[in-house]
Structure 1
Amino acid sequence: MEQLPHDDLPVVTRRRWARTTLAVILVTVGILLAPVSAVAAWARVEVLDTNTFVATFAPLADDPAVQAYLADQAVAAINRSIDIPRIASDAIDGLTGLGAGPLATAALNSLKGAAAQGLQDIIENQVSRFVASDAFAVTWAKTLRLSHAQLIATLSSDPNSVGSADQQATIGIELGPIVERLKTVLVEKGLGFAERIPAIDRTIVIAKSDVVPVARFSYTVVAVSGTWLPWLALLFLVAGVLVAHRRVRTIAWTGVTLALVMILLGLAIVWGRFTFFDTVNPVPVATAGSLYDQFVGGLAGTIVAVAVLASVTAILAWFFGPFRAARSVRGFAALWLTRLRDAVRRPAAQKGDSQ
C-alpha cells in the first residue's frame, strides 16, 4: 500500500503529535531542573542565611567526635602561641635563683621536663573539660557566626576576606573565639601564664583552595537562582501536563521519573560523603562525617519529601487512570468494598427483622 505523504496526515493527528512532543520537552526540562532547584533552594537557606547556618551546626557542640577534634586543634594552637617548656624552665630557674643549694638546684633542674609535661596535661585537661561543658555551646555559636561571615566573604570574593582571590583561599571553622574563651578559662583556673596567649587567627580547613573556585561558582548560581528556580521547574512540569494529550498518563510517568531522579540525587549525596572525606583531609573521618551529615540533613529531608510526593502522585494517577491493570485493581477493590458493606449491613438487617 502506498504511504501517504506527511502533508496528507489528518490535522488532528499532527496536532496531537505536536502536543505530545511539546509535553515531553516541557516535562523533561522540568525534571532536569528539579534536582538542581532542590539543591539551590536548600543551599540558599542553609548557606546564605547566618541564623540558619548557626542553627544547623549548633548541635555539633554536643558531638564527641567534634569536641575531641576541636580540643586537639585548640591545644595545638595554644602550644604554637606560647612555649610551655620555656615557661616551666623559667619558673624553676626563678626558684633556683632564690639561693638554693647545689643539690636542690640539680633536683629542681631535673624536674623541668616533668613540670612542662604537667603544665601540658593541665592545659589539655582544662580544654577537654571546657569543650565538653554546656558553656561551650555559646562559644561554638560565636565561632559559627564568625566562620559563616568568613565563608560568605570567601565565596563572594570579598577583597577584605582572609581567603581573598589572590591568596590560598580556604573554607573552614575559625578557631579564634574558642581559644580566646579558653584563655579566660585557664586564667580563672590559676594558670596565669595563659595571659600570654595572643589572639589566634587560625582556620580549621574544611575546603581546600582547589575547591574554592567551584564553591564560588556554586555560590553565584545559588544566590541568583535559589529563589525562582524551584518555581521554574514546577512551571515546566505543570505546563507539560497541561499540554499533554493524555494528561493522566503524563502525570503518572512524570511522578515516577521525578521520584527516580530524586533517588539518584540522594545516592549522589551519599557518594559525596566519601568525596568530602578527601576534601577535608586530615580532619578525622568521624568529625568530617558529623559535619557532612549535619550539613546535608535538610537537603536529604527535601529529597525524601519530593520523592514521596512524586511517588504518591504517580500511584494515584495510575490507580485512577485508564490503565488496564488499574481498572482491574479498581474493580477488585470495588468488589471487596461491596462485600464489606454488605457484611456490615447484614447483621443490622437481621437484627431489625428479629424485632
Structure 2
Amino acid sequence: MNASGSDEPLSAAERGELQRLRRELAELRGEPGTQPRAAGHPALRWTAAVLLLILLAVLAFSTVLARFTRSELLDTDRYVQTVTPLGSNPVLQGELADQITNEIMTRLDVEKVTAEALKSITEDAPRVPPAVVGLAPVIGEQAQSFVHKTVESFVSSDEFEALWIQANREAHQELVALLTGKTRAAIQISDQGTVSISLTPIIGRVRTELTERGFAFADNIPEIDKSFVLLHSPDLVKAQRATSALEKASDVLPWLTLLVAAAVVWVAPKGARRRAFSLVGVSLAVAMALLAVAISVGRSVYLGAVPADILAPQAAAVLIETLLVPLRTTLRAVFVLAVVIAVLGYLIGPSGSAVAIRGAFGKAVDAARAPKHGRAPYPIESVAAQFRIPLRVVIIAIAVMTLVFWRYPSGVVVVVTVLVTIVALIVVELVARPATGGH
C-alpha cells in the first residue's frame, strides 16, 4: 500500500521522494549511518550565496554598461549605424536648419547691405522717396525666410543624409583616435567635453542650392566653419585614461559574471541549489531594473546640463534617446534572460505549486509520448533519460552565452533565443520520457 492508501505500486518518482524523506527523517533523529548536518553550516552557505548574489548584480550592471560604452566609443560602424536615423529626424532637421540659417544670415547681414543699397538709390534718384530705406528690414526677413526654406529642403534630401553619415563617421574616427592615443588629430572636442561634427560641407552645398535658386547674396557667403554639437559632457575629456581599462574589462566582465552566477549555485546548501538558481535570475533582473533607473536619472541630468544656446532641449533629447537605444536593447535582453532563469529555477524547485505544474506537464508529455505496451525504450531515449540534467544545463548555458556574447542582441534575437531554448527543453523531455518510468 502506498502513501495515498491505495494498493497500486509506487512510481519511480514517488519512490524517490519517499526515500529522500526517509533520509531527512533519519538525519533529524540522528540514527546510525547518517551524517548529521553541522549546525550553522547552511546559514554560512546562505550568507556566502547572498554576498555573491549582490556581487553578481554589481557585475551584471557593470558588464552591460561597459560593453555599451565600448561599442559606442570605439566601434565606428556601430556608432554610425546608431546615428544614421537622426539624419531623417524632423526635430534634428529643424535644429540644423535653424543653426545653418542663423550662421548664414549672420555672415551676410542682408538687412545692412539692403539698407545701404536703398540709401544709395535714394541719393542717386531724387524721385525715389527716402522712406524706401525702411524696406530693408522687410527684405531682410524675406531673405531669411527664403534661406531657411532652402536649408529645410536640403536637409530633407538624400544628399544631406549621405553628408550626415560621412560627417559622423569622420568625427567618430577622430574621437576613437583621440581616446586610444593613436594620433593627435584635430578632433572637434573642447575642454568642456563638447563633441561635434563639422557642418562646413553641408553649408557649402546650401550655398550652391541658394545660388541655383537665384539668391544673389549667396555669392557673398564666406567659408563658414560651423559645428553641430552631438554630445556635451565635462567628464568626456577624462575618458582617454579609462578607455584602455574599459576595453579590457568589457571582455572580462561577462565571463566573471557567469563564474559568480555558477558560484552562487555551488555555494548554496545542497537542498536549496534550485532555489539559488532562481535567485540568480532575480539578482540579474534587479540589476537591470537598477540600470534602467540609472539611465533615466542620467538622461535627466544630461539634459539639464546641456546649455540651450549650444543645443535646443528637444534636439538634445532626440540625440541622447537615439544614443541610448543600444544600451536599452541590451538591458531588455538581459532582463528577459533573467526572468527565464528565475522562472525555470522556480519550476524545478520543491514548492507545492512547482510540483503541481511539473505534474501537469508530465501528464501532458505522457499523453503525447507514452511508450507502447511492451516496447523497450530506444537507445536514444535511454541516453536522453540518463543525461537529462546535463542536457538541460547545456541548453540553458548555450542560451545564456548567446545573449551575453551576442554583440548587439536585438529584440528578435532575445525572443528567438528564448523560444528555441524552451522548445529544446521540451524536446529533451519528450525524448527521455519513455525511459524515465514516468518521473
Q: Indicate the residue corresponding to 1:57 in structure 2.
A: 83
How many residue pairs get matched?
Answer: 330
Over 3 Å counting, the alpha-carbon distance change for 1:70 and 1:160 in structure 2 is closer
User: 243-252 vs 149-158, which deviates more?
Assistant: 149-158
Task: Give the TM-score, by structure 1 length.
Answer: 0.78
* Alpha-carbon distance between aligned partners in 2 of 1:104 and 1:223, rounded to the nearest angstrom: 72
* Alpha-carbon distance between aligned partners in 1 of 2:158 and 2:236, rounded to the nearest angstrom: 34
Q: Indicate the residue corresponding to 2:302 in structure 1.
A: 276
- 8 Å CA contact 1:82–1:196 kept in 2: the answer is yes
Matching residue within 331, 348, 354 for 1:303? 331
Deviation at 1:41, TM superposition (A): 0.8
Deviation at 1:229, TM superposition (A): 2.1
* Alpha-carbon distance between aligned partners in 2 of 1:195 and 1:100, rounded to the nearest angstrom: 25
Report 1:99-118 matches (<5 A).
100-104=124-128, 106=130, 108-118=132-142
- 8 Å CA contact 1:256–1:311 kept in 2: the answer is yes
* Alpha-carbon distance between aligned partners in 2 of 1:38 and 1:269, rounded to the nearest angstrom: 12
Matched residues, percent identical? 32
Q: Indicate the residue corresponding to 1:5 in structure 2.
A: none
* Alpha-carbon distance between aligned partners in 1 of 2:66 and 2:335, rounded to the nearest angstrom: 17
Report 1:32-47 matches (<5 A).
32-47=58-73
| RMSD between aligned residues | 3.4
The amino acid of 1:198's aligned partner reads: P
Stretches of structure 1 lacking an aligned partner (at least 5 in a row): 1-8, 343-355
Deviation at 1:256, TM superposition (A): 1.1
- Asked if 1:76 corresponds to 2:110, the answer is no
The amino acid of 2:321's aligned partner reads: D
- 8 Å CA contact 1:154–1:162 kept in 2: the answer is no
SS of 2:251's equivalent in the other structure is coil
Stretches of structure 2 lacking an aligned partner (at least 5 in a row): 1-34, 371-439
Over 3 Å counting, the alpha-carbon distance change for 1:77 and 1:22 in structure 2 is same
- 8 Å CA contact 2:288–2:331 kept in 1: the answer is yes
Q: Which stretches of structure 1, 4 residues or more, deviate above 6 A after TM superposition?
A: 9-18, 336-342
Report 1:110-259 matches (<5 A).
110-149=134-173, 151-152=175-176, 155=179, 158=184, 160-163=186-189, 167-208=191-232, 210-213=234-237, 219=243, 221-246=245-270, 247-259=273-285
- 8 Å CA contact 1:155–1:212 kept in 2: the answer is no
SS of 1:104's equivalent in the other structure is coil
- 8 Å CA contact 2:107–2:221 kept in 1: the answer is yes
* Alpha-carbon distance between aligned partners in 2 of 1:198 and 1:150, rounded to the nearest angstrom: 26
Which structure has more relative contact order (CA 8 Å, sep 6+)? It is 1
- Asked if 1:312 corresponds to 2:340, the answer is yes
* Alpha-carbon distance between aligned partners in 2 of 1:153 and 1:88, rounded to the nearest angstrom: 47
User: 191-200 vs 11-20, which deviates more?
Assistant: 11-20
Over 3 Å counting, the alpha-carbon distance change for 1:307 and 1:168 in structure 2 is closer
* Alpha-carbon distance between aligned partners in 2 of 1:239 and 1:202, rounded to the nearest angstrom: 55
* Alpha-carbon distance between aligned partners in 1 of 2:226 and 2:116, rounded to the nearest angstrom: 28
* Alpha-carbon distance between aligned partners in 2 of 1:209 and 1:257, rounded to the nearest angstrom: 31
Matching residue within 320, 326, 337 for 1:292? 320
Report 1:313-352 matches (<5 A).
313-334=341-362
* Alpha-carbon distance between aligned partners in 1 of 2:193 and 2:290, rounded to the nearest angstrom: 32
- 8 Å CA contact 1:154–1:163 kept in 2: the answer is no
The amino acid of 2:207's aligned partner reads: K
User: 274-283 vs 51-60, which deviates more?
Assistant: 274-283
The amino acid of 1:250's aligned partner reads: A
The amino acid of 1:312's aligned partner reads: V
- 8 Å CA contact 1:27–1:241 kept in 2: the answer is no
